[in-house]
Structure 1
Amino acid sequence: MKIILRSGAATAAIGVGLSLAVLPAVPAGAAAAIRVPCNDITALKNAINRANASANAGRIVLASHCTYSLTAPDNADDGLPEITGDVTITGRDTTIRRAPSATQDFRIFHVVSGGTLTLNSITVSGGRLSLADTMGGGIANTNGTLNLNRSIIRGNEASQGGGVHNFGGRLNLDRTTVERNTNTTVGATAGGGVFNTDSGTMKMRGGSLINNRSPIGNGGGLENIRQATAHLNSVSVRGNTALLGGGIRQTQRGVLRLTSSTVSNNVAVSGAGLSNLDSTATLMRSLVTRNTAINNGGGIDNPPPSRVTLIDSKVIRNTPDNCSPAGSVPGCTNPDPANAVTLPAPQLPAPATESKSRR
C-alpha cells in the first residue's frame, strides 16, 4: 500500500531455575511462537497473517544466521503482508531483504494504524521505492507502533525516510543501527535514515545513525518535522550528508532532545550537524563536533525564531563555524576570525547516476 523491532541433583535443579529466570517472560495466554524455516517466504507470509489475526500478541521466530530474500511484493508497495495486529519477529543474525534480483520496487514492512511490529535482532535491507513522494524504503509506520531492538536498518531507499518513515506513530529504537540508507534523487526528499513526521514520536536509546544520505534533500540522518518529537539518548549521529542538516534537520515546530549523544563528521551545505528551523532543540551532556558545512552552521544552524539550549554540552571544532547566526545559541562561540584557518569548501558526494527502473 502506498502512503503520502554441573552435576548433582540439587545443583542441577538450581541451574534449571536460574536458566528459566533469564528467559523472556511470555504473557499469560500468549499463543505459541510460530517458527519459520530459513528463507521460506511463503511460511513467513503465512506466519505474519496468523500473527495479525491472533487475539494475543503473535510471536514469530526466524532461523538464526539466515537471509530471507523477497523477490516480489506481497501487495502494491510492501514485500510482506501489512502489520495490522501485534506482531513480534525474533531472529539471531537474521536478515530480511528485497532480493538483488527483484525486478519490482517495494519496501519490506508496513505497519498500519493500530498495528504493532517488534523486531528483535533483525536486519532489514534492500527495500527500494525509487519514485517521487514514496515513504519508508525499509519500513513505513503509519499511526502504528514500531519497536526495533538490537536491529539494523541498512541500504534502503525512498523519497522520504530511506530507512524508516514514521507518520504520526510511535517509533522506539533500542541499540539499533540505521546505516547507509538514502533518499531518491527525485521529488521532495528528506530523511535519508529516518523521517519522523506529523506528531510522530521517536525514542532512540543506544545505537547510531551512520552514513545515510539525502543527496538533493534534507536531514541526512534524521528529518524531524511537523510537530514531531525525537529523543536520542546515547546515540551516535555521524557521517551523514544532506543539503540542510547533514546529521539532523528539524522544522515546522519539531522538538528534539539529545542526551549523552554525539553528532560528528556530518556534511551539509548549511547546518552540517543540526539544522534547526522554527523548532526547539535541547542538548544535555552531548557533543557536536567536526561537522562541515559549505556555507554556514558547521555545527548548528539556528535561524530565528528557533531555539537551541545547551546543558553541559559542547559545540566545538566545526567548519566554518560552530553556530550560525552568531549568538543564536547561548553558550556556543565561534573561533576568532583573525585566527581562523581557511579550508577549501568540502564537496557533497555526487548523486549516483540514476539507472533505476520506473514502475
Structure 2
Amino acid sequence: MKIILRSGAVSAAVGVGLSFAVLPVVPATAAGGSHVRCNDITALTNAINQANASGGRITLASRCTYTLTTPDNADDGLPEITGNVTITGRDTTIRRASDATQDFRIFHVMDGGTLTLKSLTVRGGSLANANGGGALNEEGTLNLSRTVIKDNDALEGGGLANTAGELNLDRSTVERNTAAEFGGGVLNDGTLTMKGGSLLRNRAVTSLGGGLENRTGSASLESVSVRGNTAIEGGGLRNANGSTLRLKSTTVRDNVAVSGAGLSNNASTATLVRSLVTRNTAITAGGGIANVANGQVTLTASRVVRNTPDNCSPAGSVTGCTNPTSASNTVTPSTSQLTPAADDIKARD
C-alpha cells in the first residue's frame, strides 16, 4: 500500500504546528472563566481583580490547598470583592498559613459585591480586633454552596460575619470557629438563609451565640444540625434585639451555655416548625430554650425534650414546652456534655 503525501497538505500542517508553537499560554478568561494552578496565589489575586472588573468564574485546582502567607490589604488575605465573583473548587482549601506573622481574614465582600463559593474549605482566618475570621459580608451578597468554614477566629463572627448583607448557605458547614465575643460560628446583622449543613462545635468565648448570634437580623434555618456549640448565653443559637428566627426540620442538640443552651430568645420572635431541641445543657436555666424580655417562641409540630436542667425557662414562657418534674436550678456539665461525641448527629428524643 502506498502512502501519498501531497506537498500542499504537508506545508499546511507544518504551518499550523508552527502557529501553535508560538502562541502564548494564558489562563482561560472567556466564557469558561479563569483556571488557577494549584497554590498560585498571584494568579488567584489577579483572577479576582479581573472578575471584580468584568464578572466571571474562577476555577481552582482539585484537591489543592492555596496558602496565604501575607494579606492583600490591611485585613484581608485576598482582594476585596466589589463585583460578581464565583470561585469553584473540588476538595479545595483556601487558608491562612499557620505561621503567618500578620492577622487577616480570608474574604471580604463589599457593598454591592457578590461572592459565590462552591465546594471549597475556608480556614485559618484570624482577626483579634475585627469581625469575620473566615469571611466578612459588608452590605453585599455571600453565597456558599457545599462549602466549609472551619477553624477561623475573630473578635465577632468567628467563622462568618454578615453586616446588613445577604448570606446564603446551601449544604454548607460552619465548624470549630471561635469569636472572642458575639457569634462563634456566625454573626448575623442582615439576612441569613441556611439550607442543609451544620453549625458545629463553634464557640463564643466571653459572650453570646455559640453557633449563631442573630443580633439584628432575619435568619431562616432549614434541615440544619446545630450541635456542640458553646457560649455564655445561647450556646447553639441566640436571637436578640427584635430579630426574627425560623427553624424548620432543624435539630438543636448537645450545645452548652450558662443560660439558653439550645436557644436564647431575647425580646425577639422565634418560630420552630418540625424541629427538635434536645440534650442541651445550661449551667443555670434554659437548657433547651431561654425566652426572656417578652420574647415570643412558637412551637409547631416541634419538641423540646431531655434538656438539662430544664426544657424551657421561665416555666410557661413557651407554649407547648413542659419541664421535667425533677428539674433543678443548677447543674454542672460533665466532660462528655462539654465535648459531644463527633459521630452522634442523629436526632433522638
Given the two structures, how large is their TM-score scaled by the length of structure 1? Answer: 0.84
Question: 2:170 is matched with which residue?
Answer: 174
Contact 2:116 2:143 survives alignment (8 Å): yes
2: distance between equivalents of 1:142 and 1:130? 18
In the superposition, relative to structure 1, how do residues 245 and 347 fare at CA in structure 2: closer, same or farther (>3 Å)? farther
Question: 2:228 is matched with which residue?
Answer: 239
Runs of 4+ with deviation above 4 angstroms = 340-344, 347-350
The equivalent position to 1:190 in structure 2, one of 174, 182, 185, is: 182
1: distance between equivalents of 2:60 and 2:321? 49
TM-superposed CA distance for 1:344, in Å, is 4.6
SS at match of 2:131: coil
2: distance between equivalents of 1:204 and 1:243? 24
- Alpha-carbon RMSD across the aligned residues, in angstroms, is 1.7
Question: 1:305 is matched with which residue?
Answer: 294
Question: 2:16 is matched with which residue?
Answer: none
TM-superposed CA distance for 1:85, in Å, is 0.2
1: distance between equivalents of 2:41 and 2:177? 24
Question: 1:222 is matched with which residue?
Answer: 212
Q: Does 1:210 align with 2:210?
A: no
TM-superposed CA distance for 1:157, in Å, is 0.3
TM-superposed CA distance for 1:311, in Å, is 0.1
SS at match of 2:128: coil
In the superposition, relative to structure 1, how do residues 136 and 174 fare at CA in structure 2: closer, same or farther (>3 Å)? same
SS at match of 1:129: strand
Give matches, 1:320-331, under 5 Å: 320-331=309-320
2: distance between equivalents of 1:303 and 1:70? 44
Normalized per residue, the structure richer in strand is: 2
Q: Does 1:290 align with 2:279?
A: yes
Question: 1:273 is matched with which residue?
Answer: 262
Question: 1:72 is matched with which residue?
Answer: 70
TM-superposed CA distance for 1:31, in Å, is 3.5
| Runs of 5+ unmatched residues, structure 2 | 1-28, 340-349
SS at match of 2:231: strand
Structure number with greater CO (CA < 8 Å, separation at least 6) is: 1
In the superposition, relative to structure 1, how do residues 76 and 231 fare at CA in structure 2: closer, same or farther (>3 Å)? same
Amino acid at match of 2:192: M
1: distance between equivalents of 2:300 and 2:165? 29
Question: 2:119 is matched with which residue?
Answer: 121
TM-superposed CA distance for 1:250, in Å, is 1.4
Give matches, 1:27-42, under 5 Å: 31-42=31-42
TM-superposed CA distance for 1:281, in Å, is 0.1
SS at match of 2:199: strand
The Cα offsets for residues 202-259 of structure 1, whole Å up to 9 and x where unpaired, read as 0000000000001111100000012x00000000000000000000011101100000
Give matches, 1:9-158, under 5 Å: 31-54=31-54, 57-131=55-129, 134-158=130-154
Q: What percent identity do the matched residue pairs reach? A: 66
2: distance between equivalents of 1:216 and 1:342? 22
In the superposition, relative to structure 1, how do residues 341 and 254 fare at CA in structure 2: closer, same or farther (>3 Å)? closer
In the superposition, relative to structure 1, how do residues 342 and 305 fare at CA in structure 2: closer, same or farther (>3 Å)? closer
SS at match of 1:249: strand
SS at match of 2:45: helix
Amino acid at match of 1:256: L
1: distance between equivalents of 2:169 and 2:161? 13
Contact 2:310 2:328 survives alignment (8 Å): no
2: distance between equivalents of 1:335 and 1:256? 26
Question: 2:4 is matched with which residue?
Answer: none
2: distance between equivalents of 1:313 and 1:301? 16
Amino acid at match of 1:182: T
Q: Does 1:251 align with 2:240?
A: yes
SS at match of 1:175: strand
In the superposition, relative to structure 1, how do residues 250 and 343 fare at CA in structure 2: closer, same or farther (>3 Å)? closer
TM-superposed CA distance for 1:343, in Å, is 8.2
| Runs of 5+ unmatched residues, structure 1 | 1-28, 351-359
Computing the radius of gyration from Cα coordinates, the structure with the larger value is 2
